[in-house]
Chains A and B, each alone.
Chain A
Amino acid sequence: MSAQPHTASQRQGRWSRRLMVGAALFYVAALLVAPLVGITYYGLKSGLGTIGDTFGQTDVQHAFYLTFLIMLITVIVNTVFGIIVALVLTRDHFPGKRLISALVDLPLAVSPVIVGLMAILLFGRGGWFEAFFAAQGIQVIFALPSMVLVTIFISIPFVIREVVPVLEELGTEEEQAAWTLGASKLQTFFRVTLPNIRWGLLYGIALSAARAIGEVGAVLIVSGALQGQTETATLYILRAFDQYQDAQGYVVALTLALFSIVLLIGIETFKRNSSREAR
């Protein structure tokens, strides 16, 4: 570049950059920050009394209990199986592997409502597995099992998608080195593989948890949203607004949002650690 006055194309470049930054800021502010500010405002506006009242309701307590129970089971199942699937996808070769790899992303593409419907078709009245579970005395639909099942389904991709690239980058040499030093496959996994994938794994777990907490559509369809029984926190919010109890709805929504923000901060930390380690 010489000391010439700025050319037209340079000026144009600077303007287009400003426009891009402006658009990005507007987009984020309008779509993400404004609702967050709104929900905080309305959640707190009703005052401490309402907040206390809301959490005093057994329905609300049960809804939170259910939400976190479902999240916990989902995260455990998706972590264990997510690691197994990721290991199989990166370390083994078999026919149909690419199909499985593609199927893992299915839950991202399918609407949760459809997921709920699929569960009804399988476990509901006249479904393929209805008779089997009925014979065991286990109620699946309109009960915890189906709610957990659809939530697991919906959050399958997160752990796998985060762990696979880390495993690929890691390669197998360290594991082979561990074997030659006498470490069993299990020792190798816990002492070499797991520590190496831990940040990616935690990132995937956090995403999975956030997704599980926020799920509405699929859970609504399979649970029947029975007040105090199969009503999760998100379903409670739906009902609160339906019944013109906006203040309670805002309080619960704000609580969930706060929890998600905490998760988000965790996610960012994991992500940073993960990318630092990838070097």
Chain B
Amino acid sequence: MAGSIEVRGLSKAFGTFKAVDEVSFAAAEGTITALLGPSGSGKSTVLRMIAGLEQPDSGSVIVAGEELTDASVQDRRLGFVFQHYALFRHMTVRKNVAFGLSVRRVDKDAQKKRVEELLELVGLAPFANRYPHQLSGGQRQRVALARALAPSPQVLLLDEPFGALDARVRQELRNWLDELHRELGVTSLFVTHDQEEALELANEVVVMNHGKVEQVGAADQIYNQPATPFVAAFVGSSNVLHGTVWERHVHFGRSAVAGAHNIPDGREAVAYIRPHDIELTATPGAMSFPISVERRTDMGWMAKLHLRLEDGQPLVAQLPNEEIQGVDAGQRLYANLRNPKVFADDRVESASDADLEPAPAAKREEEADDQAEGSELAPARQG
């Protein structure tokens, strides 16, 4: 009952604003794929176009080998889960789950059996006769999921499924969804602005920005081999160091990191350094930087160190406590920077200038303006 999803050259403009620009990717049968991007990157619009809730200006949507671009929402038979659940508030949980079966005039007994089965699956059998407003956020989202799954769709589309929940419930539901997917194997595509969520749940991640696909790849690929500066900055947290290329190294004052392949000498470049890719030593090594420690913040099992390079650029390290015993403000040490991700400077976008931990910042921003997510759509509605 699973089918692949393929999107080819999908574009959509709202007025003069290009919300989605030539987006192509494919999600293999039975996998979980994440559409990851900041608010306004067009990811929700892509999902809504796959569902048929939004009509693309050009491009095509193919599910299970079938061209669906011009099919109606109803005929597509795809499961869709909304960020704010969109449960039918005047119906009980049972009626909500049965809705997709009853509008298709499924035999009453079969309906009843399927609903019981799904309520059991999502662990809400005792709540069958409750109304949505009598349930917690996490329970509501599980009802929404059961409702979407009831007609046995080939594909499940989830729009920020955990976006409206608090952190703990979000983590719980994430684990639960992971297990559910293993059990059912329904091809799933979910939209998220939370890179952690994307990396943890998805087999493959499609990173989007400004309506375009930045990179498609497995979670570790996206994290360790970002294709663009945007991906390097958006996925995981990174330090951004500016320098000049010389013999395939980026130089910052008297120090340098490797990795500047294919960048001509003399060009400005940026190196993205993960906060855990920093090794501190008391004595200089072959490729180490002299740094000064400005501040130390302990955060349980690890600590955050605010460092400064000799040329004045700041650097933040996050390391396990046992690796940095005795390190404190005022010390002068040496840092070995591993796995730098280097890009020529002309491709650097403003987004990558974000300080350490851009992801939580993006998260807050997105939650602050739910309408911003809707703003991908709002111009169309307001004409």
* Chain B residue at minimum C-beta to C-beta distance from A185: B74
Please pick, from B80, B87, B133, B383, the residue contacting A180 in the complex, using a CB distance under 8 A: B80
Contact of B88 among A94, A187, A192, A277 (CB under 8 A): A192
Specify the main secondary structure of chain A where it touches its partner: helix
Q: How far is the CA of A101 from the CA of B245 in the complex (A)?
A: 64
Interface 0/1 of B123-160, CB less than 8 Å to A: 00000000001000000000010011011000000000
Chain B residues contacting A180 (CB-CB under 8 Å) are 51-53, 73, 76, 78-80, 148
Q: Mark A148-189, 1 if CB is under 8 A from B, else 0.
A: 000000000000000000000000011011111111100100
Q: Which of B32-40, B98-106, B339-347, B350-358 forms part of the interface with chain A? A: B98-106
Which residues of B lie under 8 Å from residue A93 when comparing CB positions? 381-383
In the complex, B90 has a CB within 8 A of chain A: yes
Instruction: Report chain A residues within 8 Å CB of B99.
Output: 178, 181, 183, 191
Interface residues in A120-140 by Cβ distance below 8 A to B read: none
Contact indicator A182/B100 (Cβ below 8 Å)? yes
List of B residues within 8 angstroms of A184 by Cβ: 74, 103
Q: Decide if A174 touches B88 in the complex (CB within 8 Å).
A: yes
B70-97: contact bitstring with A at CB < 8 Å (1 yes, 0 no)? 0001101111101010111110000000
* B381 partner residues in chain A, CB cutoff 8 A: 93
- Residues 69-107 of chain A: 1 if any B CB is under 8 Å from the residue's CB, otherwise 0? 000000000000000000000000110000000000000
Chain B residues closer than 8 Å to A195, beta-carbon distance: 90
Chain A residue with minimal CB distance to B95?
A191
* Closest-CB distance, B90 to chain A (whole angstroms): 5
Query: Which residues B272-294 have CB closer than 8 A to chain A?
Result: none
Q: Which of A174, A182, A191, A277 contacts B86 (CB 8 A)?
A: A174
Question: A176 contacts B53, CB within 8 Å?
Answer: yes
- Please, how many angstroms separate the alpha-carbon atoms of A180 and B155 in the complex? 12
Docked pose: A23 CA to B173 CA in angstroms: 57
Residues of A263-279 contacting chain B, CB below 8 A? 277, 279
Q: Given the complex, which residues of A lie within 8 Å of B84, measured CB to CB? A: 173
User: What are 26 A-B pairs with beta-carbon distances under 8 A?
Assistant: A174-B87, A176-B53, A177-B80, A177-B82, A177-B87, A177-B144, A177-B147, A178-B88, A178-B103, A179-B74, A180-B52, A180-B53, A180-B73, A181-B103, A181-B147, A181-B148, A182-B77, A182-B100, A182-B103, A182-B151, A183-B74, A184-B103, A191-B103, A196-B89, A277-B90, A279-B133
Chain A positions near chain B (C-beta within 8 angstroms) = 93-94, 173-174, 176-184, 187, 191-192, 195-196, 277, 279
Q: Top 8 A-B pairs ranked by shortest CB distance?
A: A181-B100, A173-B86, A180-B80, A177-B86, A93-B383, A179-B73, A183-B103, A195-B90
